Amino acid sequence: MLTNFARTQAKELLNSIAVGLNRLGFTPNTMTLLGFALICIIALIIAAGYEALGGILLIFGAALDATDGALARLTNRVTKFGGFLDSSLDRYADGVLMLALVWRGIEYNNRWIIMLAIVALIGAFLVSYTRARAESAGVMLKEGFFTRLERMIVIVLGLLSTLFIPQTGLIIMLVILAILSNATAIQRIWLTQQKLGEQ
């Protein structure tokens, strides 16, 4: 899974950033809230029609989003509420980004963009929900070939592609998101059934 690879490769960098944030007095929950606020601003930029700029800023938004966990581990502030808050705001972040794309679909008068954004959002929510429900049933479930990091990479590339193919770039991006997110949710349902050993 790309998430684990990226986390391993970026560990030292995130730890260095976390040291600096700790010296400045930031807490993990503060970084979670700041990361979400930045995503909301990016969503407004995308909705305003600056999709490529939103893609560039989303790179920094995704990086900021990763600092809260590193800061929590560095300062020994890993808490259940911190994890809950981070996961909850991640879902809100998914929602506001897709809402911005729905707005672009309205502006373009393109029903495909609107519908695909909704289907992609359903898939994104189900990827998270299936893991949460599996773990509540006692099944550890981190597997999944298209999780949040992969989605963010596709969104960034899709937004940047609008410099060359505005509506087509969004449609291609949303088709990938819609198919692979929902496929991952189905994958997790199947894995949970296998791990529980129930028919």
Q: Which CATH number is 32's domain given?
A: 1.20.120.1760
Return the pLDDT at 64.
85
Alpha-carbon span 119 to 58, nearest angstrom = 21
Residue 43: how many other CB atoms lie within 10 Å: 22
Alpha-carbon span 124 to 177, nearest angstrom = 8
With a CB cutoff of 8 Å and minimum separation 6, the contacts of 66 are 10, 14
Return the pLDDT at 5.
61
Sequential pLDDT tens for the chain (199 residues): 555 665 566 677 778 888 888 899 899 999 999 999 999 999 999 999 999 999 999 999 988 888 888 899 889 899 999 999 999 999 999 999 999 999 999 999 999 999 999 999 999 999 999 999 999 999 998 888 898 989 999 999 999 999 999 999 999 999 999 999 999 999 999 999 999 986 4
Return the pLDDT at 198.
67
**Tokens standing for residue 148:** 């949040």
Residue 108: exposed, middle, or buried by beta-carbon count in 10 A (0-12, 13-18, 19+)? middle
Q: Which of 65, 68, 86, 90 is catalytic?
A: 90
Nearest to 42 by CA among 98, 91, 86, 3: 98
Give the range of the structural domain holding residue 161, as residue numbers without chain letter. Answer: 2-196
Nearest to 131 by CA among 120, 123, 143, 122: 143
Return the pLDDT at 171.
98
Return the pLDDT at 13.
78
Return the pLDDT at 175.
98
Does the active-site annotation cover 90?
yes
Give residue for tokens 């949303």: 174
The structural domain count of the chain equals: 1
